[in-house]
Amino acid sequence: MIDLFMNYKEICKELGINYYRSRPAKNGKKICSICEQTKPLVKFCKNQKYSKVDGHHAWCKQCTNEINENRDIQAKFARPPWFSENHNKQITALRNKAGFLEKITGEKHSICHIEPIQHCLTCGLDIPINMYVDTQANNAKNSNWFVSYHQLPDGTIKHIDLSSEFIFEAYAFNERFNRERNVEYRERSIAS
């Protein structure tokens, strides 16, 4: 039961609503859901489609740029050095297949990665063998899902028990590794 003396954040928690996403802008200012700083609406991108409350994204432009930059850097590292023009042609063929299926079915299709490129436990490669064509609805539903089992050479399947401690340690290690790798990549790109 909701108590009238609860603050707005507690009421949202009680109702199961994301507090940061549901806060409307007041006095031309909004709180970013990433950095949690109050900023003027000019610092947020407009988006009528997803934000019905005030017509702006939940993230400020600075946080959005940082997230996009990190994703781009990670995507560059997902391409192995042995990636060839033949692989590029296979990816183009997959894109064409997605477009063809979209025209036939009328439903949007996209290229999905079997092993996700951005995940706390793994970094899949951006190569054709790690890709398949699926509907955008299924791709969004799978999100950043990672299979927690492994097929052994003899054909048997072994389930990997991922305890929460292990996942947290792996996530912390991956965050440190990505930070170091991003700094190293930036230094290399500045030097060249």
Task: Tell me the C-alpha distance between 96 and 17, whole Å.
Answer: 39
Residue 168 has pLDDT above 50, yes or no: no
Which stretch, 100-104, 129-133, 146-150, 182-186, has highest mean pLDDT? Answer: 100-104
Counting every residue written for the chain, the total comes to 192
pTM listed for this prediction: 0.48
pLDDT at 166: 44
Domains, the chain, ranges and CATH?
A: 8-67 (3.30.60.130), 70-191 (no CATH)
Q: For 90-135, what is each residue's pLDDT tens digit?
A: 989 999 999 999 999 999 998 888 777 766 666 677 788 888 888 8
Q: For 2-19, what is each residue's pLDDT tens digit?
A: 444 445 556 556 655 555
pLDDT at 3: 46
Residue 188 has pLDDT above 80, yes or no: no
pLDDT at 191: 56
Radius of gyration for the alpha carbons in the chain, expressed in angstroms and rounded? 21
What type of residue sits at position 148? S
Q: For 51-90, what is each residue's pLDDT tens digit?
A: 666 778 888 899 888 888 877 777 777 778 888 889 889 9
**Mean of the per-residue pLDDT values of the chain:** 71
pLDDT at 179: 59
Using alpha carbons only, what angle is made at residue 68 by residues 129 and 119, rounded to the nearest 5 degrees?
A: 45
Question: Nearest Cα to 120, choosing from 54, 167, 72?
Answer: 167
DSSP for 61-120, written as a single string: HHHHHHHHHHHHHHHHHTS-TT--HHHHHHHHHHHHHHHHHHHHHSS-EEEEESS-SS-S
Q: For 24-61, what is each residue's pLDDT tens digit?
A: 556 778 888 888 888 888 888 887 676 666 778 888 89
161 close to 170: Cβ distance less than 8 angstroms:
no
pLDDT at 103: 92
Beta strand ranges found along 117-172 (DSSP E) = 131-135, 149-151, 157-159
Measured between alpha carbons, how far is residue 71 from residues 12, 125, 148 in Å?
30, 14, 23
Task: Tell me the C-alpha distance between 72 and 64, whole Å.
Answer: 12
Q: Which two tokens stand for residue 77?
A: 């590292």
The mean per-residue pLDDT over the stretch 156-177 comes to 50
Task: Tell me the C-alpha distance between 87 and 91, whole Å.
Answer: 6
Which stretch, 58-67, 134-143, 166-175, has highest mean pLDDT? Answer: 58-67
